[in-house]
Amino acid sequence: MSFSTLGLSDVIVRAVTEQGYSAPTPIQAQAIPAVLNGGDLLAGAQTGTGKTAGFTLPILHRLSTDKTGAALRNKTAPRTIRALVLTPTRELAAQVEESVRVYGKYTNLNSAVIFGGVGINPQIKLLKHGVDILVATPGRLLDHAGQGTVDLSKIEILILDEADRMLDMGFIHDIRKVLALLPPKRQNLLFSATFSDDIKALADRLLNNPASIEVARRNSTVEVIAQKIHPVDRDKKHPMLSHLIKSNNWHQVLVFTRTKHGANKLVEQLGKDGIGAMAIHGNKSQSARTKALSEFKDGSLQVLVATDIAARGIDIDQLPHVVNYDLPNVPEDYVHRIGRTGRAGATGEAVSLVCVDEHQMLKDIEKLIKQTLPRHVIPGFEPDLNAKPQPIQLRSGAPGHPNRGRPNGGRSGGNGGKPRAPGAPGASAGAKRNGPRPPQASRPARDR
């Protein structure tokens, strides 16, 4: 099967071919024809399977070949937003818009991405010139709607990308506000890495007799990822991580911590061990977040420490190692974290450092993925079998946290890099169509 046999136009196939891709991934092979048919779609696929191209390619085809829409666009009438893609984080928003630009380069369509944490005035100017496909985070989109600087009344296609993450981050109220601004007659596409009960409930409210696609077992983890658990005492995690990095000669390691404070502390500790590390999370400035992502992508930064807020916005080809320094308190986040490696058929390794405090979290994760993960005790780091568990600080917005679901928290930005390829998503672009707009976060809890 090729992209041309799926019914895509020659100009789109040409752009895809130029990126080195000729055969669609399973999610693309099923989603593209479904979207081209014009009906609603509920699609689930693991991260790293080419989910973004599964909707960007067919919406580019539909909008660029629609003669009625083309006739409405002329030199005197400005472009109106015809397709809206909502994403939970700025990195993901920028990556999606980069895909739209790369694969739509030979069409007559244009696109833009808007997010918070950066000035709103350049975005207002961009929208005023007219946009066909808009990629946005919910909070900043509502900011524009409140100022009357965005018109959503002509939307033909709505895409909710990483819908499960948006619900987990407390965006459901923002999503409902956005839906109220859209015309009732439209095509709705809901893409999600996992299908939770909440996602099914949202789909029931949003989608009209949708086609349903799920190319991977619910909440499964990619088979090419080697997963292992290293039992360790809580105060030995940092020394163990340094030991693993040095003894195994790891050169590119993505490390996940539970909190922003924990990420900053770990970066400082690794630095004292002679290991170059930087952190990326919701409190980082625009320049710091851009610098960390850029250096990690090009291989000059050895360790990138991230919180779950950035888990689905980091796409790096051939990333060999992911480390769960802290286990996530949301089991599904484990799937998304380790999905940063083993992408597009490549092999990868996911290591989790687990102390006595996290034994229940580990049980929940293994129940979710229906696997018992192998335990490997590292000599010199044997855990104290008599240690007692202590309460774990939950990140703001997490299940069980008192502030979960409150509409607070940071705004979305973007990062620069390689475009997301159909089978192996790369990096991201920025708010303007002709160049990258780096990210910035201004509030701690969640991106907007």
CB 127 within 8 A of CB 150: yes
pLDDT tens track, the chain, 448 positions = 788 899 999 999 999 999 888 889 888 999 999 999 999 999 987 666 788 899 999 999 999 998 655 444 555 567 899 999 999 888 788 889 999 999 999 999 999 999 987 889 999 999 999 999 999 999 999 999 999 999 999 999 999 998 888 887 788 899 999 999 999 999 999 988 777 788 888 888 899 999 998 875 444 555 668 899 999 999 999 999 999 999 999 989 999 999 889 999 999 999 999 999 999 887 776 567 778 888 888 889 999 998 876 655 566 667 889 999 999 988 878 887 887 775 555 568 899 999 999 999 999 999 988 889 999 999 999 999 999 988 886 654 454 444 444 333 333 333 333 344 454 433 333 333 333 333 333 333 344 5
314/317 Cα distance (integer angstroms): 10
Which segments of the chain belong to CATH 3.40.50.300? 4-214, 225-369
Secondary-structure class of domain 4-214 per CATH: alpha beta
Strand partners, 225: 348
Residues 6+ apart with CB under 8 A from 248: none
Burial class (CB in 10 A: 0-12, 13-18, 19+), 293: buried
Secondary-structure class of domain 225-369 per CATH: alpha beta
Strand partners, 252: none
